[in-house]
Amino acid sequence: MIPTRFIPLVFKYMVRRRARSILTIGGVATAMFLFYSVQAMQQGVREATQPSSEDTKLIVYRQDRYCPFTSNLPQDYHLRIAAIPGVKAAVPVKVMVSNCRTGLDVVTFRGVPDDGLESGFFGQVRLQDGSLDGWKRRSDAAIVGERLAKRRNLKVGDQMELGGLTITVAGILESTEPQDRNVAYTHLDFVQRAAGNRPGVVTQFNVAVVDPSQLREVARLIDEEFRTAQEPTATWSEKSFVGRVAADIIEIVKFAGWLGWGCIAGVFALVANAIFLSVQDRIRDHAVMQTLGYGEWLIARLIVAEAMTVSFTGGIIGVAAGMLVTRIGMFSFSVEGLSIHIHAGIGSIALGLFLSALTGVLAGLIPAFQASRREVAACFRAV
């Protein structure tokens, strides 16, 4: 953009008004922190709800029920579900949550049969620590998702009491599936006995199908099987189920997207104002530079480079702060036993840095144009 020998001059302009530069960089950093946070929320929503051609999982719930506390299905339904053509595995699950409302630190307990974690539904699960044998040996044992373990600082052998349950951590679970990372898998009968739950009754069935193309057909067959039963069912793909349950969160995150772009507009106004004031302070400096042979185009590029540097520096600080907060906090929106994780990938990081640099360039164009078109004599007459 400018010859490298002029780079020290750009930094000299920035430090000449230290307070102004620091305040501008701080404002840009704050706005980019908010923008990155919104991007992290949006990525979590996309990951949890966006269907793909490789999805093979279904959730069977009680018809017309929305909260885990109200969805009750007979446990023996899983035998009839497993017999339906196209079903690979059906796992009865009893769900308990610390509360049924939306929150950032809701703990979800999922009770599964002793062989549940070895079924086809949990094919992508890997234990970071502990073992399935240790889980099977204790009735109060739990396999804890990696995000929950980090957020609660849990290790194998630790105990946790919440929502009327006291569990012992038998393993730390690592999974590619968002819904496995923030839960504690316990024994089904252990959860059924807790807090007055009825034995033989579960919240839902997690179903794996053989062929992803059969997902809708298998869902239809399951609901048809229990259409006239005392406890009819409603079946969705896992991501559709998350999208239905977390509809309010998704709408809030969509609205937050406008806040993110508002932050970018704020960065533009902030940097443009700072550069405009900086240029006004240096009117006579520019006249001297033109007298010494600096061309109008070079002066304009120096001003744009200064604006980009200020904005990009603030962008780096804001994005780095956002990464640090989301990584340490391990935040998740949890609602009705389901989780949407707040995290952003390399694409969101690159977008934030690119937009901060681009905004700086655009914000510097008008002051640069004005400075480059000003006559030398008019510059010396300016106060």
Predicted local distance difference test score (pLDDT) of residue 293: 63
pLDDT band at 372 (very low <50, low <70, confident <90, very high): low
Q: Which carries the bigger pLDDT value, residue 353 or residue 334?
A: 353
Share of the chain above pLDDT 90, in %: 4
- The mean pLDDT value of the chain amounts to 79
What is the structure's pLDDT at 383? 47
Q: Domain locations in the chain?
A: 4-49+248-381, 64-231
Quick check: 37 pLDDT over 80? yes
Does the model's pTM come out above 0.85? no
pLDDT in tens, 308-330: 888 899 999 999 999 998 888 77
pLDDT in tens, 215-254: 888 989 999 989 888 889 988 887 787 777 666 677 778 8
Q: 208 in helix, strand or coil?
A: strand
- Here the tokens at position 6 are 């002029």
Instruction: Work out the angle at residue 364's Cα, subtended by the Cα atoms of residues 2 and 316, and round it to the nearest 5 degrees.
Output: 80
Q: What is the pLDDT of residue 3?
A: 62
Instruction: Give phi and psi for 13, each to the nearest 5.
Output: -65, -40
User: CA-CA distance, 256 to 331, in Å (whole number)?
Assistant: 16
Is pLDDT above 90 for 128? no
Say whether pLDDT at 184 is over 60: yes
Q: 373 to each of 201, 286, 368, 379, how far by Cα in Å?
A: 79, 11, 9, 11
pLDDT at 381 over 60: no
Q: Could you tell me which of 57, 121, 48, 40 has the C-alpha nearest to residue 334?
A: 48
What are the pLDDT digits (tens) for 185-220?
Answer: 888 888 887 756 667 888 888 888 888 888 888 989
CB-based contacts of 58: which residues, under 8 Å, 6+ apart?
206, 207, 208, 209, 215, 218, 219, 222, 235, 236, 237, 238
Residue 11, token pair as written in the block = 């930094």
Q: What confidence tens digit (pLDDT) does each residue in 41-84 have?
A: 888 888 777 767 677 788 898 888 777 777 888 988 888 888 99
